[in-house]
A and B are shown apart, each in its own frame.
Chain A
Amino acid sequence: MLKEFFSSRKHVIFTGIFIGVSAAFLQKLGNPSNMGICVACMERDIAGALGLHRAEVVQYIRPEIIGFVLGSLIAALIFKEFKARSGSNPLIRFVLGFFAMIGALVFLGCPWRTLLRLAGGDGNALFGLAGLVVGIWIGIFFIKSGYNLGRNQRTNPIVGWVMPVVMVGLFLLLIFRPQLPSGAIFFSSKGPGAQHAPIFIALIIALAIGFFAQRTRFCTVAAVRDVILIKDTYLFTGVISLLLAAFVSNLILKQFHPGFQGQPIAHSYQLWNFGGMVLAGLAFTLAGGCPGRQLFLSGEGDADAAIFVLGMIAGAGFSHNFSTASSPQGPGLWGPASVIVGLIICLIIGFSMSDLRQKRKETE
């Protein structure tokens, strides 16, 4: 059956290997160290290119993000899974995306980069990974307690096309690089934002990843969540494949440098590596998936996932404008406070949207 194409365990393992190898090669081809792919960092760079923040070293329109959405769109159209849908608490999803990004930028990476940092030898990522698992575990507690953002509804197909069209627009801005009186579009001349693989190679690899990930439902957060929640190891095997493939590729490409100090685009303040990813893990779990998965869903017409992505991009702008993002020197001035505020808000969302609130009312 056509729709079953690429949905078996061997295919999710292939997808994980493809992503792991691709990330190592994208780094070799110019992307920043241990950042061959990082959904959060790459969305942050796009926010910078558009002038939503003015951190001069992280401004670039990353074709990988564009490719993820469009690759998923292509798969969804071919396999007749493109369905425009929206209306499942979009504002709450925006807030979750916002705080997911705040947390990820305190750690300096999304779940994908957590794995890639580990595969590159960055021991600090162990604390981020531990935080991610704890955040997911808290999210699972709410899901088991009846957490629900409500049903989405089928809507006009044009709604599902918004995100793909935005991505085409971003691609045109990347290619033609118009210079506006404000100085936008901004492209870093130094720092991580200035490091990138050739545009078309990055785009083609990302299109393939988007295609495969849409078919296999690849998700780094659901990988952990499903093992704990429903004893399903399908996605987990894909994520482990990603980690091992990136590790082996890094060894071959001489990109494996084990240690804690002096790791690229990373810091060693472990409490906040951990705390940032607790926040991110919780926000991703409450929203239903990792940042990559949200991009793939937005490519197949899920406007609620698109709102989450927009929340992440807004969060990236806020992170740098309000000094909550970390740097290799450590957390930003307001980084720790933003993590605490974000955790409180996400816990309130989890509590309010679950049966726990009802149970509390009944006991009063």
Chain B
Amino acid sequence: MEQRIDTRGLSCPLPVVAARKKLLGMKNGVLEVLVDTGTSKDNIVRMVTNMGWKIEVKEEGEEYLLTISK
């Protein structure tokens, strides 16, 4: 089942913490994370890769839609 969290406006490290918390509760599936800073995007990409999940980054204007899957 696809899940989605919106971390826009949250300052570092809250977006990556929120994404990690969600992923730790999922064995597999798809998680979409909406972020609005390059820092949050970079942090989540690194964490997700370290955790062994796949991530796809789509830039939407000044925001990023991160699609995380396993």
**Shortest Cβ distance from B42 into A: residue:** A7
Across the interface, name the chain B residue whose C-beta is closest to A147: B14
Stretch at the interface among A29-37, A50-58, A126-134, A149-157: A149-157
Q: Which of B53-70 touch A at CB < 8 Å?
A: 62
Q: Is residue B43 contacting chain A, with contact meaning CB distance below 8 A?
A: yes
Given A232-B47, A234-B46, residue A304 in contact with residue B13 (CB < 8 A):
no
CB of A222 within 8 A of chain B?
yes
B8 at the interface (CB under 8 A from A): yes
Q: Tell me if A231 counts as interface (CB < 8 A to partner B).
A: yes
Find chain B residues with CB under 8 A from A355 CB: none
State the CA gap A231–B62 with chains docked (Å). Answer: 28
Name the residue on B nearest A149 (C-beta): B11
Which single member of A88, A143, A226, A234 contacts B9 (CB below 8 Å)? A88
- Please give me the residue from chain A that is nearest to B19 by CB atom: A230
A62 located at the interface, meaning its Cβ lies under 8 Å from any Cβ of chain B in the complex: no
> Chain B: which residue is nearest A219 at the CB level?
B12
How far apart are A158's CB and chain B's nearest CB, in angstroms?
A: 17
Asked if residues B20 and A230 are in contact (CB atoms below 8 Å), the reply is yes
Q: Which residues of B contact A117 (CB under 8 A)?
A: none
Decide if B12 touches A230 in the complex (CB within 8 Å).
no
For A88, the chain B residues whose CB sits under 8 A away are: 9, 11
Using Cβ atoms and an 8 Å threshold, which residues of chain B touch A234? 46
Total residues of chain B contacting the partner, CB 8 A: 20
Q: Within 8 Å CB of A222, what residues of B?
A: 12-13
The bracket for how many chain A residues form the interface is 20 to 34
Instruction: Give the chain B neighbours of A151 by CB distance below 8 A.
Output: 8-10
Task: Tell me if A288 is interfacial: C-beta within 8 Å of chain B.
Answer: yes
Asked if B13 and A230 sit within 8 Å, CB to CB, the answer is yes
On chain B, the residues within 8 Å of A3 by CB distance are 38
B8, B16, B42 interface centre (most CB from chain A within 10 Å): B42
- Asked if A225 is at the interface of the complex by the 8 Å CB criterion, the answer is yes
Among residues 23 to 70 in chain B, which have CB atoms less than 8 Å away from a CB atom of chain A?
Answer: 36-39, 42-43, 46-47, 50, 62
> Does B17 sit within 8 A of A, measured CB to CB?
yes
Q: Which residue of A lies closest to B20 (CB)?
A: A230
Do B9 and A152 have beta carbons less than 8 Å apart?
yes
CB of A352 closer than 8 Å to a CB of B = no
CA distance A304 to B37 in the complex (A): 14
| B16 surroundings in chain A (CB, below 8 A) | 230
In the bound complex, CA of A288 to CA of B20 (Å): 17
Q: Which residues of A contact B50 (CB under 8 A)?
A: 231-232
Q: Is the CB of A152 within 8 A of B11?
A: yes
Cα of A149 to Cα of B12 in the assembled complex, Å: 11
Q: Provide the residues of chain A in CB contact with B12, threshold 8 Å.
A: 217, 222, 288-289
Complex Cα spacing A328 to B20, Å = 44
Nearest A residue (CB) for B41: A3
Q: How far is the CA of A311 from the CA of B36 in the complex (A)?
A: 26
Task: Collect the chain B residues with CB atoms within 8 Å of residue A7's CB.
Answer: 38, 42
Contact with B along A140-171 (1 / 0, CB 8 A): 00011000110111000000000000000000
In the bound complex, CA of A231 to CA of B14 (Å)? 15
Contacts of A79 in B (CB 8 A): 38
Q: A83-B37, A143-B17, A232-B47 are in contact. Are A288 and B11 (CB under 8 A)?
A: yes
- CB distance A217 to B14 under 8 Å? no
* A-B contacts, 5 listed (Cβ < 8 Å): A81-B38, A88-B11, A143-B14, A230-B43, A302-B11
Interface residues of B (CB under 8 A from A): 8-14, 16-17, 20, 36-39, 42-43, 46-47, 50, 62
The 5 nearest A-B residue pairs measured at CB: A151-B9, A288-B11, A217-B39, A152-B9, A81-B38
Listed in ascending order, the chain A residues whose CB lies under 8 Å from chain B are: 3, 7, 79, 81, 83, 85, 88, 143-144, 148-149, 151-153, 217, 222, 225-226, 229-232, 234, 288-289, 302, 304
Given A81-B37, A226-B13, 9 new contacts (CB under 8 A): A143-B13, A151-B9, A152-B9, A152-B11, A217-B39, A230-B17, A232-B43, A288-B12, A304-B11
